[in-house]
């Protein structure tokens, strides 16, 4: 009886280990689907589970385990110490690091090894923060301003553009400016695989200026005027040495539409095209 019971227990343990091995193989299968690329789609699969944090965490843990099992560091042992006969401390060889973050964006974004001008317009691959991310553009401001007079009845020589009544505006008011931009394309005409390679880019910018009659309670503190200014900017980088240690870094072309977004007779708008260029100079820092 004892022998039969032991045999039964061994069989049950063997079945459990086999089932566990199959379950583990099934769990890690999604991360080992491609020969030679065991984790090519690992984190993307886990990212798709964002609606279930528990499953997503477990998925990322499995992906991390598969990464460590595939690209685990290798160790080499130095020759034995002649004095003690024992091997020296092991040397740990780490695998090569990825150049991209898990979200796919380059790790060089906002790299302080580059100039402020290069980082602002992302002129080089090493400063690229990818497309469709929101950046600052012109200064953001919130201020109280005062003037000698405020036009309470705007007029124009164009037909239908003269206000019919006068509004009693206060000469002191608030001014708000918001301004953002985003890169919508990169590497159109100029690009390269190295971090120091220049990349051209196409940007969309938006700036809004509002004049707020915050101190004019009798007329319910209205926004006297709000100007909307969308624009397209194309940036082409250069590396042109100039006299005095200066370096001509970029040329730009901009298309701008500016409007107050109102209907007649208060409607005002205009379009313009502009060219721009920028140069920079490096000064050697004096040791402290």
Q: Domain extents for the chain?
A: 39-71, 116-147+170-281
How far apart CA 209 and CA 272 sit, in angstroms, is 18
How far apart CA 178 and CA 209 sit, in angstroms, is 7
Against a cut of 0.75, is the pTM above it? Answer: no
**pLDDT tens sequence across 242-253:** 999 999 999 999
| pLDDT tens by residue, the chain, 288 residues | 444 544 544 454 444 444 444 444 444 444 444 444 334 455 677 777 777 888 878 887 887 777 665 544 444 454 566 666 655 555 444 443 344 554 455 556 878 889 999 999 999 999 999 999 999 999 999 999 999 988 888 888 888 888 878 889 999 999 999 999 999 999 999 999 999 999 999 999 999 999 999 999 999 999 999 999 999 999 999 999 999 999 999 999 999 999 999 888 889 999 999 999 999 997 765 555
DSSP string of 90-116? PEEEPPPPPSB-TTS-BTTTT-TTS-H
CATH number attached to the domain at 116-147+170-281: 2.40.230.10
How many other CB atoms are found less than 10 A from the CB of residue 201?
24
Q: List, in sequence order, the alpha helices (H) in the chain.
A: 2-28, 42-47, 53-70, 116-121
């Amino acid at each position: 009886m004892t022998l039969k019971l032991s045999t039964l227990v061994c069989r049950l343990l063997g079945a459990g280990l086999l089932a566990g091995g199959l379950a583990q193989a099934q769990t890690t299968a999604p991360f080992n689907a491609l020969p030679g690329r065991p984790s090519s789609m690992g984190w993307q699969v886990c990212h798709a589970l964002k609606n279930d944090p528990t499953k997503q965490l477990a998925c990322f843990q499995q992906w991390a385990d598969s990464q460590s099992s595939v690209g685990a560091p290798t160790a080499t042992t130095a020759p034995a110490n002649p004095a003690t006969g024992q091997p020296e401390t092991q040397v740990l060889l780490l695998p090569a690091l990825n150049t991209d973050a898990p979200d796919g964006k380059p790790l060089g974004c906002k790299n302080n090894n580059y100039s402020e001008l290069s980082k602002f317009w992302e002129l080089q691959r090493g400063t690229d923060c990818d497309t469709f991310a929101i950046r600052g553009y012109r200064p953001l401001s919130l201020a109280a301003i005062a003037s000698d007079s405020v036009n309470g009845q705007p007029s124009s020589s164009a037909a239908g553009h003269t206000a019919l009544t006068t509004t009693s505006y206060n000469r002191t008011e608030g001014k708000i400016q918001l301004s953002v931009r985003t890169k919508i394309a990169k590497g159109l005409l100029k690009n390269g695989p190295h971090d120091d390679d220049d990349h051209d880019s196409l940007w969309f910018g938006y700036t809004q200026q509002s004049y707020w009659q915050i101190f004019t309670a009798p007329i319910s503190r209205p926004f006297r005027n709000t100007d909307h200014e969308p624009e397209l900017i194309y940036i082409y980088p250069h590396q042109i040495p100039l006299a005095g240690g200066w370096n001509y870094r970029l040329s730009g072309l901009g298309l701008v539409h500016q409007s107050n977004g109102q209907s007649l007779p208060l409607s005002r708008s205009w379009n313009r095209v502009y060219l721009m260029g920028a140069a920079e100079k490096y000064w050697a820092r004096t040791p402290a």
